[in-house]
Amino acid sequence: MYCPDQALACLLVEVTEQVLWQEIQPWLRERDHCIQLRCRVGSGRATYHSQQGARHTITYGRKMITSKRCPQQAQLWTTAREIQSRGYFGGQAGFAELMAHTCCHEFAHLVQSLNGWYRRGSIHNRGFYQILDRIHRSGTAGRVLEALRIEAARHSVSLTFDTPSGAPSDSPRIAIQRGQRVGFRYRGRQVSGIITRINQKTVRIEQHGIDGVEYFRVPPSQLDVEDQHG
Ligand SMILES: [Zn+2]
């Protein structure tokens, strides 16, 4: 039976090899690291890097994807918090960004192990974030995201959060226009605001509150027309 999360897990494997593994080759050669990488899909939630000598393995759990497709559950994962707290991808934890970042996160563990930058009980430490920051700053993370979007489109795999009704929202469910009042979920709260600009992938929304104006950039697929949702 076709399982979209299994299909997406296979694409994570593919872009890890296509982008992260390819782009690190010069770095590995410079340091005489002679290692092998195998990326695979696991059946559970566990998503991790492991190592046996020079053989490294990155496992993407199929149920990790199922869990992260749900916006509420996604918030509970370290990777979603990292995007927001460290401002990766402009701090915008859309589902596609979250998936691309998941690859970067696991790959950062691989680099961390080569650098010897971890001890028991200290995995997500300063050295780790130094590596992860570099993967984002160098543009590699952006290329992972781009490759993922291309592969997903080619294989017709959805790169969106599940909507509460359970229907995937591949395309905007609403025709949007400037000046329109819309609502969306942001960090667990319901926000309502006015669309002030429509860009290619996101719309800019202003919310006027008691303590000033807040600005948001949101993919159209995450918007609800305000008056349909009371
Ligand atoms: Zn980790």
Task: Give me ligand 1 centre to Cα 105, in Å.
Answer: 6
**Residue 72 and residue 12 in one domain:** yes
Domain membership of residue 56 as a residue range: 4-154
Task: Give me ligand 1 centre to Cα 222, in Å.
Answer: 27
Task: Give me ligand 1 centre to Cα 46, in Å.
Answer: 11
Task: Give me ligand 1 centre to Cα 185, in Å.
Answer: 26
Provide the pairing of β-strand 189-198 with 224-225: unpaired
Please give the structure tokens belonging to residue 69.
Answer: 């497709």
165, part of any domain: no
**Residue 86 and residue 19 in one domain:** yes
For the whole model, what pTM was predicted?
0.71
Confidence of residue 166 (pLDDT cuts 50, 70, 90): very low
Task: Give me ligand 1 centre to Cα 45, in Å.
Answer: 13
Task: Give me ligand 1 centre to Cα 174, in Å.
Answer: 37
109, part of any domain: yes
Lowest pLDDT segment from 41-55, 84-98, 161-175: 161-175
- Last-in-domain residue among 154, 189, 207: 154
Task: Give me ligand 1 centre to Cα 147, in Å.
Answer: 22
Helix %, strand %, coil % for the chain, to 5? Answer: 45, 25, 30
The answer for residues whose C-beta is within 8 angstroms of residue 61's C-beta and 6 or more apart is 9, 41, 42, 43, 44, 45, 46, 47
**Residue 134 and residue 44 in one domain:** yes
CA atoms within 13 A on the CB side of 114: 20
pLDDT value at position 218? 81
Task: Give me ligand 1 centre to Cα 60, in Å.
Answer: 12
pLDDT value at position 195? 81
Task: Give me ligand 1 centre to Cα 160, in Å.
Answer: 23
pLDDT value at position 205? 83
pLDDT value at position 165? 58
pLDDT value at position 157? 96
Task: Give me ligand 1 centre to Cα 123, in Å.
Answer: 7
128, part of any domain: yes
146, part of any domain: yes
Task: Give me ligand 1 centre to Cα 70, in Å.
Answer: 20
**Residue 127 and residue 187 in one domain:** no
Between CA 95 and CA 161 the distance in angstroms is 6
Asked if residue 158 has pLDDT above 80, the reply is yes
**Residue 122 and residue 52 in one domain:** yes
Between CA 151 and CA 13 the distance in angstroms is 11
- Number of domains making up the chain: 2
**Residue 139 and residue 193 in one domain:** no
- Each residue of 65-115: pLDDT tens digit? 999 999 989 989 999 999 999 999 999 889 999 999 999 999 999 999 999
Task: Give me ligand 1 centre to Cα 106, in Å.
Answer: 6
Share of the chain above pLDDT 90, in %: 63
Task: Give me ligand 1 centre to Cα 197, in Å.
Answer: 36
**Residue 49 and residue 92 in one domain:** yes
Burial class from Cβ neighbours inside 10 Å (0-12, 13-18, 19+) for residue 32 reads exposed
**Residue 109 and residue 193 in one domain:** no
